[in-house]
């Protein structure tokens, strides 16, 4: 297991057991940045796995010849699917890096002081870390080039992650 994955697991566990992980404004900003970086790193690692599969699959395709100037459509479809998945994961990593954050210290203070708001933020961050880790581990454990169900399985992993990202963004915008 790599260092980033281990950190995500540790942070997710810490969020679940810590009484107030966001005890000060500085720790709140630092943890927010750390969660973003670790989640984005896990998603980038998963994207890299899919890009490697794309490259390997592309290199394994037969070269163009006079008799067959174009690859079979099913091979091109699989190649495009691998590239699409890698791009999708890279875009998701960029989305995580660009997540909205509270605009000023007053909002951070309100979240820290109101237990219900704090618990919501901790839960969102813990879920993000957990879902990103599961997605990265899954991407590392399969052979994307040969797995016939990889796109449907990926959708099953992406759906809850995208939902939490969307909910967290909407929730933070509503906290003023």
Q: Give me the sign of the Cα torsion angle 106, 109, 111, 115.
A: negative
The pTM (predicted TM-score) of the whole model is 0.77
Residues 139 and 93 sit within 8 Å (Cβ to Cβ): no
Contact indicator for 85, 125 with CB cutoff of 8 Å:
no
pLDDT tens, position by position, for the chain (176 residues)? 455 556 655 665 555 555 555 556 666 667 777 788 888 988 999 999 989 988 988 888 888 888 888 888 888 888 888 898 899 999 999 998 888 776 666 776 777 677 777 778 778 888 888 888 888 888 888 776 666 667 788 888 889 998 998 998 888 888 76
Question: What pLDDT was estimated at residue 1?
Answer: 46
Q: What's the pLDDT score for residue 62?
A: 83
Residue 160: which domain range? Answer: 3-174
What CA–CA distance (Å, rounded) separates 149 from 146? Answer: 9
Report the distance separating Cα 99 and Cα 168, nearest Å. 9
Domain count for the chain:
1
78, burial (CB in 10 Å: exposed 0-12, middle 13-18, buried 19+): buried
């Amino acid at each position: 297991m790599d260092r980033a994955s281990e950190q995500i697991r540790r942070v997710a566990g810490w969020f679940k057991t810590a009484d107030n992980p966001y005890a000060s404004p500085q720790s709140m900003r630092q943890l927010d940045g750390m969660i973003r970086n670790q989640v984005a790193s896990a998603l980038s690692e998963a994207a890299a796995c899919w890009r490697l599969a794309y490259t390997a699959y592309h290199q394994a395709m037969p070269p163009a010849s006079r008799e067959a100037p174009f690859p079979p459509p099913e091979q091109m479809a699989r190649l495009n699917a691998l590239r699409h998945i890698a791009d999708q994961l890279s875009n998701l990593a960029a989305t995580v890096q660009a997540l909205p954050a509270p605009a000023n210290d007053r909002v951070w203070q309100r979240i820290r002081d109101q237990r219900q708001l704090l618990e919501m933020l901790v839960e969102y961050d813990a879920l993000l870390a957990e879902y990103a880790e599961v997605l990265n581990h899954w991407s590392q454990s399969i052979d994307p080039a040969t797995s016939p169900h990889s796109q449907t399985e990926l959708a099953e992993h992406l759906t809850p992650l995208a939902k939490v990202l969307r909910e967290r963004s909407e929730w933070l915008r509503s906290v003023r």
